[in-house]
A and B are shown apart, each in its own frame.
Chain A
Amino acid sequence: ILNVEQSPQSLHVQEGDSTNFTCSFPSSNFYALHWYRWETAKSPEALFVMTLNGDEKKKGRISATLNTKEGYSYLYIKGSQPEDSATYLCAFNGNKLVFGAGTILRVKS
């Protein structure tokens, strides 16, 4: 059974804090690693799709890194804002897309 683990399960931060989450995945049969943001009552939105070991991607205040050899990815949010509150899902794309359980982020103003 393919295991994709995310930590922490949930996070409460103050506006302006920087934060990061971890996604662990199998290091074999790797094709891509996806990050999604899922706000309540909305569609999950693709943030990044990362394919190369050592890859770093950035979108505004959000960035992600990838280590395929050791099987982990980090998502960073710099200067968290209330609108960043959401569930952040990572998904391992080997033969099929397998999701982690997500990290719930709540940013207090």
Chain B
Amino acid sequence: EAGVAQSPRYKIIEKRQSVAFWCNPISGHATLYWYQQILGQGPKLLIQFQNNGVVDDSQLPKDRFSAERLKGVDSTLKIQPAKLEDSAVYLCASSAYDRVSYGYTFGSGTRLTVV
């Protein structure tokens, strides 16, 4: 099966600019996650979707971050405006179920550098 697709792979922007990331999960996977991984730290969950509904966005900085999953398939994550501390790898993952016993499937991530 095809993996989780993410784009772009790399992005460099200036602070206060906007940026958007795209994720296409594995076909049929109902649950989609966006994680932020800052250098030296573990990935942190930003938002979890079940189909096109939000299950958990408690750690999403909603003043600048937004995410949507229209039609319960693809998802986009947007940052507007970006800050220096948003420099990180943004990982998208999907799973067939909310709580899994076989691991999540991750995309290769988008590395964002804010200068």
Name A residues whose Cβ lies closer than 8 Å to a Cβ of B: 4, 6, 31-32, 34, 36, 41-49, 51, 89, 91, 93, 96-102
| Contact B42 A4, beta carbon cutoff 8 Å | yes
Q: Is B72 an interface residue (CB 8 A)?
A: no
Name B residues whose Cβ lies closer than 8 Å to a Cβ of A: 3-4, 33, 35, 40-45, 48, 56, 91, 99-109
Nearest CB of A to B18, in Å:
25
Question: Which residues of B are found within 8 Å of A97, using beta-carbon distances?
Answer: 33, 45, 104
The residue that B41 contacts in the complex, of A32, A45, A101, with Cβ under 8 A, is A101
Q: Which residue of B lies closest to A6 (CB)?
A: B42
The residue that B103 contacts in the complex, of A34, A42, A101, A102, with Cβ under 8 A, is A34
- CA gap between A31 and B99 in the complex, in Å: 8
| Contact B102 A102, beta carbon cutoff 8 Å | no
| Contact A44 B41, beta carbon cutoff 8 Å | no
Question: Which residues of A are found within 8 Å of B103, using beta-carbon distances?
Answer: 34, 36, 46-49
Q: Which residue of B lies closest to A46 (CB)?
A: B103
- CA gap between A32 and B56 in the complex, in Å: 19
Question: Which residues of B are found within 8 Å of A51, using beta-carbon distances?
Answer: 101
8 closest Cβ pairs, A-B complex = A46-B103, A99-B42, A44-B106, A43-B106, A101-B42, A43-B108, A99-B43, A49-B103
With A43-B106, A99-B42 as given contacts, are A49 and B100 in contact (CB-CB < 8 Å)?
yes
Question: Which residues of A are found within 8 Å of B42, using beta-carbon distances?
Answer: 4, 6, 89, 91, 98-102
